[in-house]
Structure 1
Amino acid sequence: MKKVAFIGAGNMNGAILAGMVNQGFNANDIMVSNPSAAKREALAEQYGVLHSSDNIVAAKFADVIVLGVKPHFIKQVCAEIAQQIDIADKCFISVAAGISLAQMQSELGDNASIIRCMPNTPAQLGLGMTGVFANNSITKADEEFANSLLTGIGKVLWLQTEAEIDNLLAVSASGPAYFFAFMEAMQNKAIAFGFSEQTARQLVQQTAAGAAQMVIENEQSIATLRENVTSKGGTTQAALNVLSDGNMSELVAQAMDAAKARSIEITTSNN
């Protein structure tokens, strides 16, 4: 079994680590490094994994190194590891937004095996959607291991080009916030109708969960599911007419375009 080091003890690395342990990975084959003792010790206590304050110790220990530090620290961390240990047989997996393969290769070397992935926050519940793209140096074994690691936090989609990460970010990485914003608006109006905040939230969250599950379990298109609940001249049609008059579809498209454009800007600024 490969040994894995998590550089950084943030929410996403913690989610991936938890997914590994829940899938049956040996906790003694996992090490987390982080300057904050409280964060790494919390993960060690909860999951029984090893921990260190030293990134180099963790990197030496591992066959696979998951980079989960803040994006502006990624190049520095890569440079430190490449300068101090032999990385020829190691595979790097980055969950940092806005850091391209080329940027990491500039510090790790052109032959370094690197996988770039873009998860989303539902990964913390094992319900994530992660887009993945790798450079040409990874082996089939690297790909299979990364896939097994990431399926512990949800669904995995291997992309054909690195540029697709910007598209995926606009759909699934930023996507949860779009749904939260719509749910928030519904909750606010439910409160205005006279429901308590708690009851309003229950009404909205159960409706959202049920609608999502209907999409998951039904082969019909999302458009058909919408049509099925929209009786001609009924209350739902009255509501949807208002959304249509407000150009909701166009607003959603513009929002997603803005997310994609900002993703490209961030990656460019990190060069």
Structure 2
Amino acid sequence: MKQQKLGFIGAGNMAGSLIAGLIADGYAPANIWVSDPNQDKREQFSASFGIHTTPDNNEVVNQARLVVLAVKPQVLRYTAQEIAAAIRQSQPLAVSLAAGVAIADITRWLDGYSSIVRSMPNTPALVKSGATGLYAHASVGFEQRNQAESVLRAVGLTVWVENESLLDVVTALSGSGPAYFFLFMEAMETAAVQLGLAPQTARILTQQTALGASRLAIESDEAPAQLREKVTSPGGTTEQAIRVFEESGLRATVEAAIRAAQQKAVELSQGAGVE
């Protein structure tokens, strides 16, 4: 797989993150192609990674065995229609990063071509700590699924869902999820400053606490509830804070927020393929 030619249509942040991760994972820059209409971006990618760049999307399709569609959802239809003839001829695996655009729509825009995997990465992929949900069209075989997974795994963890609609849940949970944690961190910092800590001290302590808690959750075999109980001594400060969270309806608020995000993802997905 690491000798296979890979193509990226679109030279945005996510494409750059994936390429950096792939090269660090042993992929040869000479086997990676990127297209983008912006000359400055092409020059930046060429200088940063030593890869092939071109303004021609069809050239990337003709070169690569796996093509990542790394364009914004609102331009995916135009891009797919532009490369439809080339992609049907060369038949690479197409991996879409476009949020909310269903495989049925991409297939229609590609004149019936269906070797497509949808992915829902999140922004921590930019620091090689991403979480990506994947869904494959029924025509995509085991080997192609492995190929798609190996690309996204270069920037973090990957999971497969067997129902495309579940990508809307992935969007609400891990796609939007970093913002939830940032909001909580923001609230913690603000409270600490109001209680007298210097802003920089509050930020450092909040960041390290978030990092430490995350590492504990990942490296421990215990569920979050068990880890929380271990920190919560009876009659102690943590118990007092947890009581306030519970009494204020934190769990219900989180559930309502994720449901709202999931419903919005459904709405966006339904609207993305409108002619």
Distance (Å, rounded) in 2 between the aligned partners of 1:188 and 1:225:
25
Distance (Å, rounded) in 2 between the aligned partners of 1:162 and 1:40:
33
Distance (Å, rounded) in 2 between the aligned partners of 1:183 and 1:60:
46
Distance (Å, rounded) in 1 between the aligned partners of 2:27 and 2:204:
36
Structure 1 residues 194-224: Cα deviation after superposition (integer angstroms, max 9, x where no partner): 2222111101000010111111111111101
Partner in structure 2 of residue 15 of structure 1: 17
* Identical counterparts, % of pairs: 39
Runs of 4 or more above 4 Å deviation: none
Partner in structure 2 of residue 207 of structure 1: 209
Amino acid of the structure 2 residue aligned with 1:12: M
Q: Quick check: 1:262 aligned with 2:264? A: yes
Distance (Å, rounded) in 2 between the aligned partners of 1:169 and 1:244:
26
Distance (Å, rounded) in 2 between the aligned partners of 1:175 and 1:182:
11
More deviation, 51-60/241-250: 51-60
Distance (Å, rounded) in 2 between the aligned partners of 1:162 and 1:56:
28
The 8 Å contact of residues 111 and 137 in structure 1, kept in 2 or not, is answered as no
The 8 Å contact of residues 62 and 86 in structure 2, kept in 1 or not, is answered as no
Amino acid of the structure 1 residue aligned with 2:31: D
3-state SS, counterpart of residue 69 of structure 1? coil
Partner in structure 1 of residue 246 of structure 2: 244
The 8 Å contact of residues 88 and 113 in structure 2, kept in 1 or not, is answered as no
Distance (Å, rounded) in 2 between the aligned partners of 1:156 and 1:84:
29
Pairing 1:143-182 to 2, within 5 Å after superposition: 143-182=145-184
Shift of 1:158: 1.1
Shift of 1:128: 0.7
Partner in structure 2 of residue 137 of structure 1: 139
Shift of 1:169: 1.1
3-state SS, counterpart of residue 260 of structure 2? helix
Runs of 5+ unmatched residues, structure 2:
none
Q: Quick check: 1:82 aligned with 2:84? A: yes
Q: Quick check: 1:118 aligned with 2:120? A: yes
What is the number of residues matched between the two proteins?
Answer: 271
The 8 Å contact of residues 61 and 86 in structure 2, kept in 1 or not, is answered as no
Task: State the TM-score, normalized to the length of structure 1.
Answer: 0.96
The 8 Å contact of residues 88 and 112 in structure 1, kept in 2 or not, is answered as no
| Cα distance change, pair 247–85 in 1 and its aligned pair in 2 (3 A) | closer
Shift of 1:60: 1.6
Partner in structure 2 of residue 225 of structure 1: 227
User: How big is the alpha-carbon RMSD for the aligned residues of Structure 1 and Structure 2?
Assistant: 1.3
Shift of 1:85: 5.5
Distance (Å, rounded) in 2 between the aligned partners of 1:36 and 1:246:
50
